[in-house]
């Protein structure tokens, strides 16, 4: 018997375990793999580590512009992978230390429901029943498959396989122009891979404001990438020592493309199929578990969070939801809001929070749009960031409804925008903040001045 059984040890599950333990609960954490989940082992951390290495290699080629010359710059990708794996190992060890400190029991196995108060846990040594008072489902998601695409993990891969490659491919076809596909495309392009992207929708990064996706598309093409939009992959399979991919183009004609490798990246689907949810009162909609604002399912004993409940499939959303679920289980009055920032580690980076212009328009809101080309600022000039700009969506009283950033380190800069929206700040409030100079974040002050009609460093 345990107070709280948690299925899934990703950024939602392990944080829920730590928080429940801190609130005095006996916790059992169950996962069929290692603690940390997809984010730590196959997603967020490995991809960003490899992107960082790619940036350094790519920037070395541009260093001569400011008088720094390198000779014999080369990539030992196997060594890069060793470095990446060491980071993952260190972070996993840290998570295990935190769980141990909270006296969380960790079981490596697969859990499925026997009832609304019990799960069956399968481990290499057999099966056992575990009764609980409350349960949190945090099983995450997996890559969506596509008919006709023969994923074998070597020639035709998913993103999980791609981050484990031991050498840089000469050519790569990426199926899907969402954020995962674009991040991987630019990362490999910087290492010297010839990239081809096939996207079924009219543009890559289709969930973004078109102004932002257009900048990333321009950079991809400058790297030599071929991009096919409004195009469908009919078949992709290993052929000889490479991959043959047949696509239907926007005009209806077909084309076969030969590459060394291919990556399928068309989104993710929730992990619910093996949970035996039919033995509980939990309701599912299109594979996603239905919850209320307190992360509680239709079964009072069972909570769910992260990718498995839909919405933005982001690690930081799952982590925030985990804290709410733990507090509710402990008897506190807590609920989850909808303000979730996003960050895309493309080149340039894109980050944002709140409404886009299109979303504000669809909601019928009274709004205005203000932009500031932060590429003109001192730090952006030093970094050579010619693409940087801010776009703010404002309400009638110049309050922020949404704020989106394109440019170097946008992922690090978005925090101030999140705070502004969370606190209901206006442009007047933002203008009162003194930002250090020269920094990228000082662009917030100039943006506020632009909104108020009194810009200092722009016309």
Render the burial of 414-427: b for 16+ CB within 10 Å, e for the rest.
Answer: bebbbebbeeebbb
Active-site residue, selected from the candidate residues 161, 276, 437, 457: 437
Query: Three-state DSSP class for 319?
Result: helix
Strand extents, DSSP E, 116-225 = 118-123, 126-137, 141-143, 156-158, 171-175, 194-198
284 sits in which H/E element: strand 284-285
Helix axes 443-451, 410-422, angle to 10 degrees: 50
Of 201, 194, 202, 205, the residue nearest 257 (C-alpha): 194
Any idea which residue has 């004993």 for tokens? 301
Question: Which whole-number Å values give the CA distances from 61 to 29, 52, 65, in the listed order?
Answer: 47, 15, 9
Quote the CA–CA distance of 346 and 210 in Å, as a whole number. Answer: 15
Which pair of tokens denotes residue 381? 């000039």
Strands 302-304, 126-137: parallel, antiparallel or unpaired by DSSP? parallel
Rounded to the nearest angstrom, the gap between the alpha carbon of residue 262 and the centroid of all alpha carbons in its chain is 21
Contact indicator for 164, 81 with CB cutoff of 8 Å: yes
Rounded to the nearest angstrom, the gap between the alpha carbon of residue 200 and the centroid of all alpha carbons in its chain is 20
Q: Which residues pair with 40 in a beta bridge?
A: none
Which pair of tokens denotes residue 261? 């490798």
437 is known as an active-site residue? yes
Rounded to the nearest 10°, the torsion over CA 89, 92, 98, 104 is -130
Quote the CA–CA distance of 317 and 303 in Å, as a whole number. Answer: 15
Determine whether 192 is exposed, middle or buried from the number of CB atoms within 10 Å of its CB (0-12, 13-18, 19+): middle
Rounded to the nearest angstrom, the gap between the alpha carbon of residue 306 and the centroid of all alpha carbons in its chain is 12
Alpha helices in 163-240 (DSSP H): 179-190, 210-222
Q: Would you give the DSSP letter of residue 266?
A: S
Hey, which residues are catalytic here? 437
């Amino acid at each position: 018997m345990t107070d709280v059984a948690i299925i899934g040890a990703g950024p939602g599950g392990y944080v829920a375990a730590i928080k429940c333990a801190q609130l005095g609960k006996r916790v059992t954490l169950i996962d069929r793999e290692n603690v940390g989940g997809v984010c730590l082992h196959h997603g967020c951390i490995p991809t960003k580590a490899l992107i960082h290495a790619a940036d350094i290699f790519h920037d070395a080629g541009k260093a001569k512009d400011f008088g720094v010359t390198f000779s014999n710059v080369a990539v030992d990708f196997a060594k890069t992978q060793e470095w990446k794996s060491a980071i993952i190992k260190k972070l996993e060890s840290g998570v295990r230390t935190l769980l141990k400190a909270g006296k969380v029991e960790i079981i490596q196995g697969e859990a499925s429901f026997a009832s609304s108060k019990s799960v069956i846990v399968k481990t290499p040594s057999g099966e056992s029943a575990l009764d609980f008072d409350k349960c949190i489902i945090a099983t995450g998601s997996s890559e969506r498959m596509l008919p006709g695409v023969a994923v074998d993990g070597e020639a035709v891969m998913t993103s999980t396989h791609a981050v484990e490659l031991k050498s840089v491919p000469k050519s790569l076809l990426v199926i899907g122009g969402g954020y995962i596909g674009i991040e991987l495309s630019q990362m490999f392009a910087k290492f010297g891979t010839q990239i081809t992207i096939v996207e079924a929708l009219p543009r890559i990064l289709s969930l973004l404001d078109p102004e932002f996706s257009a900048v990333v598309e321009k950079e991809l093409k400058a790297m030599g990438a071929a991009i096919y939009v409004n195009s469908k992959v009919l078949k992709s399979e290993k052929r000889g020592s490479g991959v043959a991919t047949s696509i239907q183009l926007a005009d209806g004609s077909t084309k076969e493309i030969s590459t060394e490798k291919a990556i399928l990246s068309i989104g993710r689907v929730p992990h619910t199929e093996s949970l035996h949810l039919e033995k509980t009162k939990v309701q599912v909609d299109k594979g996603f578990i239905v919850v209320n604002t307190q992360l509680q399912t239709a079964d009072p004993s069972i909570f769910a969070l992260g990718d498995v409940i839909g919405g933005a499939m982001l690690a930081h959303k799952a982590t925030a939801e985990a804290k709410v679920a733990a507090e509710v289980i402990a008897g506190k009055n807590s609920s989850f809001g909808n303000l979730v920032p996003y960050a895309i580690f493309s080149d340039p980076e894109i980050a944002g929070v709140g409404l886009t212009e299109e979303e504000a328009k669809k909601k019928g809101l009274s709004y205005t749009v203000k932009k500031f080309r932060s590429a003109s600022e001192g730090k952006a000039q030093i970094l050579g960031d010619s693409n940087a700009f801010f776009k703010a969506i404002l309400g009638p009283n110049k309050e922020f409804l949404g704020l989106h950033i394109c440019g170097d380190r946008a992922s690090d800069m978005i925090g101030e925008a999140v705070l502004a929206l969370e606190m209901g700040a206006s442009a007047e409030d933002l203008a009162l903040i003194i930002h250090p100079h020269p920094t990228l974040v000082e662009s917030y002050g100039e943006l506020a001045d632009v909104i108020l009609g009194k810009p200092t460093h722009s016309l």
